[in-house]
Amino acid sequence: MRRAIFPGTFDPFTIGHYSVVNRALTFIDEIVIGIGINENKNTYFPTEKREEMIRNLYWNEPHVIVQSYDCLTIDFAKQMNANLIIRGIRTVKDFEYEETIADINRKLTGIETILLFTEPELTCVSSTTVRELLQYGKDISMFIPKGMEL
């Protein structure tokens, strides 16, 4: 069985994240959406709320597991018996960062990273931007998956 983790803060989970998960499910048997707990980040939603929102979104998808973690991503991957890491790439800057992390993860554990490029119409969507819109009371419904309740 091919099990992958899709790690991130997901504050909030966007249509870009949703697209990556759905595309990865075409070639991965099971995906663990790993919500990383990072005390250095100021999040809009508490971890429990992010878990709940994503679980509710995938309530009818048996190939998706949602789990938070507070360790290194590679340690989380090992805990979840995952042999792949899935990451979404929006820009060249994302690519350069992810390439470095993927190389380190592979050297330390042998776990491979698969980079999925964002669909062109979604490159402008980031959790940071969506979070800022939320803070100013703007409607973000076009940037989050249909059916996801905040």
Q: Is 73 annotated as a binding residue?
A: yes
Q: Where are the alpha helices (DSSP H) in the chain?
A: 15-24, 47-57, 73-79, 92-109, 127-135
Q: Is 49 annotated as a binding residue?
A: no
Query: Which residues does residue 66 pair with via DSSP β-bridges, in sequence order?
Result: 33
**pLDDT tens column, 9-65:** 999 999 999 999 999 999 999 999 999 998 888 899 999 999 999 999 999 999 999
pLDDT value at position 56? 97
**pLDDT tens column, 124-134:** 999 999 999 99
Rounded to an integer, what distance in angstroms lies between the CA atom of residue 47 and that of residue 69? 10
Q: Hey, how many other C-beta atoms are within 10 angstroms of the C-beta on 50? A: 23
Q: Is 126 annotated as a binding residue?
A: yes
Q: Is 87 annotated as a binding residue?
A: yes
**pLDDT confidence tier of residue 8, bands split at 50, 70 and 90:** very high
Q: Is 68 annotated as a binding residue?
A: no
pTM of the model: 0.95
Q: Tell me, rounded to whole angstroms, the distance of Cα 92 from its chain centroid.
A: 18
**pLDDT tens column, 56-104:** 999 999 999 999 999 999 999 999 999 999 999 999 999 999 999 999 9
Q: Is 30 annotated as a binding residue?
A: no
SS3 80: coil
**pLDDT confidence tier of residue 150, bands split at 50, 70 and 90:** confident
pLDDT value at position 39? 82
Q: Greatest CA separation found in the chain?
A: 44
pLDDT value at position 117? 95
Q: Is 17 annotated as a binding residue?
A: yes
pLDDT value at position 76? 98
Structure tokens at 79: 């805990």
Q: Hey, how many other C-beta atoms are within 10 angstroms of the C-beta on 37? A: 14
Q: Is 137 annotated as a binding residue?
A: no
Structure tokens at 75: 């340690």
- Is residue 53 within 8 A of residue 26, CB to CB? The reply is no
pLDDT value at position 42? 86
Rounded to an integer, what distance in angstroms lies between the CA atom of residue 127 and that of residue 21? 15
Place of tokens 């119409």: 121
Q: Is 125 annotated as a binding residue?
A: yes
pLDDT value at position 27? 97
**pLDDT confidence tier of residue 110, bands split at 50, 70 and 90:** very high
CATH for the 3-136 domain, from 3.40.190.10, 2.160.10.10, 3.40.50.620, 3.40.640.10 = 3.40.50.620
At residue 11's C-alpha, the angle toward residues 5 and 17, to 5°, is: 50
Q: Is 72 annotated as a binding residue?
A: no
SS3 33: strand
